[in-house]
Amino acid sequence: MLLVDKNIKELVSQGKLIVSGYKEENLKGIAYELSVDCIYDSQKNTVLSFELKPGDVVYIKSNEEIELPPQLTARIIERNSVMRMGLKVDGPQYIPGHRTFCFLRVQNISDSVLTISKGFGIAQIVFEELKEIPEQTYDKQHGASFRNEKDFVGVGKYQPEYDKLMKEYKDAKEDLESLK
């Protein structure tokens, strides 16, 4: 069951859900609107404003830091107006026990150059009550790679494994190119 505005407000007042960066004006009927704190360019440098050309992808850090109690999960959903502008915003499903700022991938899928800046309302987060509390919440998972993430860590502890996969793809692509 999704939490509604009054449920979210009550939990925030108890120091839960959104533990920093909360603004009551961002609270909507069944969601909370996340805003941009900073943008990570392709070299993982932080900037406060970025012009996305068609096809460009950046990662953003939200102003808001979340912490989920054991009986709640949260997921990122797009804002209708942002989607219609031509920005595709992706974010993970946050599981119980996760404390982090929200790090979202933003891609310009329009034919226009679009600018995003600090403070821009980029996406929404919805909170959902679980039928039961999981046996293993994120805060109890050994080696949870993105717990307490304050700055963008890319793929975190998975980097060596993913580097190997990306290299294999790059090598295969080069092999295909050499056959032409």
Convert the pLDDT of each residue in 84-116 to its tens digit.
Answer: 999 999 999 999 999 999 999 999 999 999 999
Which class for 86: exposed (0-12), middle (13-18), buried (19 or more C-beta within 10 A)? middle
- 113 plus 46 within the same structural domain: yes
- 73 plus 160 within the same structural domain: no
Q: Which structural domain range is residue 160 located in?
A: 155-180
Look at residue 135 in the predicted model and tell me its pLDDT: 82
CB count within 10 Å of CB 70 equals 15
* Domains held by the chain: number: 2
CATH number of the domain at 34, please. 2.70.40.10
pLDDT band of residue 170 (cuts 50, 70, 90) is low
- 110 plus 169 within the same structural domain: no
- 65 plus 79 within the same structural domain: yes
Q: What is the pTM of this model?
A: 0.80
> Which helix (H) or strand (E) element contains residue 11?
helix 5-13
Give the integer Cα–Cα distance in Å for 42 and 57. 8
